[in-house]
């Protein structure tokens, strides 16, 4: 298997098909594009769980780990309560490194009003860089649940912020000296600041006010991968206008430098939403300082198409993220 998320075919064949035992309390189970599990706990509320590791960078992993998991919970429409943290460190890691990661975790948790509830910390020869995995715990009323699979034919597809957001920031931080052979320090600094826009919690709250029935944060596999996932999860087609997908010039330039496709680059901080009120939602997001655009429509059938003037491209299941082409070189 290749580095990165396993392919959809392998996921279905070797993961989902092996999960057979069920409990009645589990309301929504593993599926393509679904990032959260929902557990029935009371007559009115549901517990939400989501887990993610940070493996593509060693910079800001504490901050990233909190936001990536909080984004999953936010995409469900829920309220984040806390996190459980597993932290694996290589042999001879300085204690100061551990302290810095924990300080970063706590700072982001304080900002989002969530608690570090527990976890596990270990030094092990099994890893050659710090690895952090966070499980998020949240809650939501049963009437407010939003799933990736909730798209409806005729809805607008709204995206927030910019394609390639997270990947651009990681590349700028991890490969600054290499990039400085072509670009200015100010240019690279601007790209690194993309990390300040990694949270989608605010736009998720706004989206709920405008009738969103599906939300999905754009992670590994980038924009094209996330579009495929929301279409596959909802069993619908999509028609997307490539020119309406928003992207910053820093992403274009850095992807050109490393010969990467920016539409296949990890994009945490960018959210996809399905709603019948696309124009109104975009206006509301922009009033709050969040860039957004209607980029397409939900269609009948199963064709997921990206249109660029006269060219029509059929989307495919996501493969290994473009970021790994640089990490593994």
Same domain, yes or no, for 138 and 163?
no
Q: Which is higher by pLDDT, 245 or 143? A: 245
Report yes or no on 1 lying in a domain. no
Q: Are residues 39 and 123 in the same domain?
A: yes
Tokens of 328: 């593994």
Give yes or no: residues 157 and 252 share one domain: yes
What is the CATH classification number for the domain harbouring 95?
A: 3.30.1330.10
The number of distinct structural domains making up the chain is 2
* Contact by Cβ (8 Å): 156, 276: yes
3-state per-residue secondary structure call for 306-328: EEECCEEEECCCCCCCCHHHHHC
Question: Are 185 and 136 in a shared domain?
Answer: no
Say which DSSP state 11 is in.
Answer: I
Question: Helices 249-258 and 165-174 meet at what angle, rounded to 10?
Answer: 60
Per-residue pLDDT at 30 exceeds 80? no
At 235-264, the pLDDT tens digits run 999 999 999 999 999 999 999 999 999 999
Examine residue 3 and state whether it is found in any structural domain, yes or no.
Answer: no
pLDDT band of residue 161 (cuts 50, 70, 90) is: very high
200 lies in a domain?
yes
- Which residues form the domain of 16? 8-144
Residues 157, 137, single domain; the answer is no
190 and 48 within one domain: no
* Residue 271 near residue 204 (C-beta atoms within 8 A): yes
Domain assignment of residue 232, yes or no = yes
Helix (H, G, I), strand (E, B) or coil at 299: strand
- Phi, psi dihedrals of residue 20, rounded to the nearest 5°: -115, -35
- Residue 305 in this model has a pLDDT that exceeds 90: yes
Is residue 177 located within the same domain as residue 115? no
Least confident window among 16-20, 231-235, 274-278:
16-20
279 within domain boundaries: yes
pLDDT at 5: 67
Instruction: State the DSSP H helix or E strand holding residue 231, giving kind and residue range, or none if neither.
Output: helix 222-234
Q: Which of 214, 198, 216 is nearest to 112 (CA)?
A: 198
User: At 260, which CATH number?
Assistant: 3.90.650.10
My answer on whether 154 and 295 are in the same domain is yes
Q: Label residue 21 by pLDDT band (50, 70, 90).
A: confident
Q: Among the three residues 93, 121, 144, which one is the final residue of a domain in this structure?
A: 144
How much is the pLDDT for 55?
Answer: 82
Domain boundary among 125, 144, 163: 144
Q: Is 178 found in the same domain as 99?
A: no
Whether 107 is in a domain gets the answer yes
Q: How would DSSP label each residue in 79-93?
A: EEEEEEEEEEE-TT-
170 and 315 part of one domain:
yes
- Residue 117 and residue 260 in one domain: no
Cβ proximity of 201 and 207 under 8 Å: no
Domain end: 115, 144, 173, which one?
Answer: 144
The reported pTM is 0.86
The four Cα atoms 197, 304, 322, 124 give a dihedral, to 10 degrees, of: 80
Classify the C-alpha dihedral 75-204-200-234 as positive or negative. Answer: positive
My answer on whether 163 and 140 are in the same domain is no
User: What is the structure's pLDDT at 24?
Assistant: 79
d(CA 43, CA 313): 46
């Amino acid at each position: 298997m290749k580095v990165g998320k396993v392919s959809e075919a392998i996921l279905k064949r070797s993961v989902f098909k092996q999960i057979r035992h069920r409990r009645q309390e589990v309301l929504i189970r593993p599926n393509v594009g679904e990032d959260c599990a929902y557990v029935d706990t009371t007559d009115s509320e549901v517990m939400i769980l989501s887990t993610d590791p940070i493996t593509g960078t060693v910079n800001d992993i504490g901050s990233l780990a909190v936001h990536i998991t909080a984004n999953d919970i936010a995409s469900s429409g829920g309220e984040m309560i806390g996190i459980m943290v597993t932290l694996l460190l290589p042999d001879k890691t300085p204690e100061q490194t551990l302290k810095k990661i924990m300080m970063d975790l706590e700072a982001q948790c304080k900002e989002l009003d969530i608690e570090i509830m527990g976890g596990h910390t270990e030094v092990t020869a099994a890893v050659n860089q710090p690895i952090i995995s966070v499980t998020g715990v949240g809650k939501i009323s049963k009437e407010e649940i939003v799933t990736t699979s909730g798209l409806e034919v005729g809805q607008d597809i709204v995206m927030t912020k910019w394609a390639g957001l997270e990947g651009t920031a990681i590349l700028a931080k991890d490969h600054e000296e290499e990039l400085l052979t072509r670009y200015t320090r100010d240019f690279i600094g601007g790209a690194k600041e993309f990390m300040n826009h990694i949270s989608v919690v605010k736009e998720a709250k706004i989206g709920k006010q405008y009738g969103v029935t599906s939300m999905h944060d754009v992670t590994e596999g980038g924009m094209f991968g996330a579009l495929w996932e929301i279409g596959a999860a909802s069993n619908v087609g999509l028609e997307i206008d490539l020119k309406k997908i928003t992207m910053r010039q820093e992403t274009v330039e850095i992807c050109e430098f490393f010969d990467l496709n920016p539409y296949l680059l990890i994009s945490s901080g960018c959210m996809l939403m399905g709603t019948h009120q696309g124009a109104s939602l975009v206006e509301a997001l922009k009033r709050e300082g969040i860039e957004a655009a209607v980029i397409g429509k939900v269609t009948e059938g199963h064709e997921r198409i990206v249109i660029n003037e006269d060219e029509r491209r059929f989307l495919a299941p996501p493969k290994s993220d473009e970021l790994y082409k640089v990490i593994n070189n």
